[in-house]
Structure 1
């Protein structure tokens, strides 16, 4: 009588399990996951922070374990546990760095309205980044409609389209000082809204 696959896999070494993953046996990765989950958590814990969920870090660590299983070559001289530890850590660190870099974006998509600052779209083609950017833009648009008067909205729109204070004033039919004051109120209101 044949032994159940789970029993056979539990008797395998980590290297043999990695080879089984490479040969397309999905239960082999489940066994590796059971063996290495504590290591994944240990590698993820130092990087846990308020803007990066612990479960997300563990998921990245599991991805590192899977990559290790798929690319492990026993003839290279490293034990699987050493190689897996490095792959897990690299994936966790990459996820952390990506999250930290994302935190450098203005909060809630708030854009300073100072002279000389350039506005730019995110340089990523990743769907998550594009979705977050769209959500931030919608948040800013809601704030603009909610807290700004119609005249302040017009001033802001003209200013963001590249008009100077004098051009804004001329197009709306107000003094340059009134345009400047309106833009100052816009800045204050949006700062207050984003804090």
Structure 2
């Protein structure tokens, strides 16, 4: 997903973006996450201990995803609905987390030697985004304008006939472009 692709959607309301996501533009989920992450972090820091924060942020982000999938727009704004889902998720996690403290020690397994990967550190997220941008730029340089447009539409889940209509070309041209794209990307 290119930065300009995301930037074009920055002007849309949350409800419009949620509608697009539920219509198949799942890549726009990152726009919603970027908008709500500061709210999630603020709420989690306010309500959780340091040891619970990472899990709470993960649960709250999942609650945001669920809010996107379940929002119908009939009773409230997406912001109100999403924040309610996030708060309930965090409170539920706190409630369940406090129950875990009551487990007798003899039932707990030792964690010595257990490696916990640092999957979502800010540094990893930053470097992953940079790697993605670099890969995307090299793909742009390798492909023609038409091929790149076909690839973007194909990766967004469009069918050959939809791509053909949108780009005003034949389905055969779409197929040929995808064949060329595969060859070029395999050789690079």
TM range (shorter): 0.5 to 0.7
Q: For residue 95 of structure 1, what is the aligned residue in structure 2? A: 93
* Aligned-partner SS, 2:44: helix
Cα-Cα RMSD: 2.3
Deviations 1:67-116, CA, capped at 9 Å, x for gaps: 11111111x1301111110001111111111111111112x337xxxxxx
Residue 24 of structure 1: CA displacement?
A: 2.9
Greater RCO structure (CA 8 Å; 6+ sep): 2
Q: For residue 30 of structure 1, what is the aligned residue in structure 2? A: 30
The TM-score normalised by the length of structure 1 is 0.51
5+ residue gaps in structure 1? Answer: 111-132, 140-195
User: How do residues 1-195 of structure 1 correspond to structure 2 at under 5 angstroms?
Assistant: 4-49=4-49, 52-74=51-73, 76-106=74-104, 108-109=105-106, 133=108, 135=109
Deviations 1:53-77, CA, capped at 9 Å, x for gaps: 3121111111111111111111x13
Q: For residue 161 of structure 1, what is the aligned residue in structure 2? A: none
Runs of 4+ in structure 1 off by over 3 angstroms are none
* Aligned-partner SS, 1:42: helix
5+ residue gaps in structure 2? Answer: 113-188
Say how many residue pairs are matched: 110
Computing the radius of gyration over CA atoms, which structure comes out larger, 1 or 2?
1
Residue 4 of structure 1: CA displacement?
A: 4.0
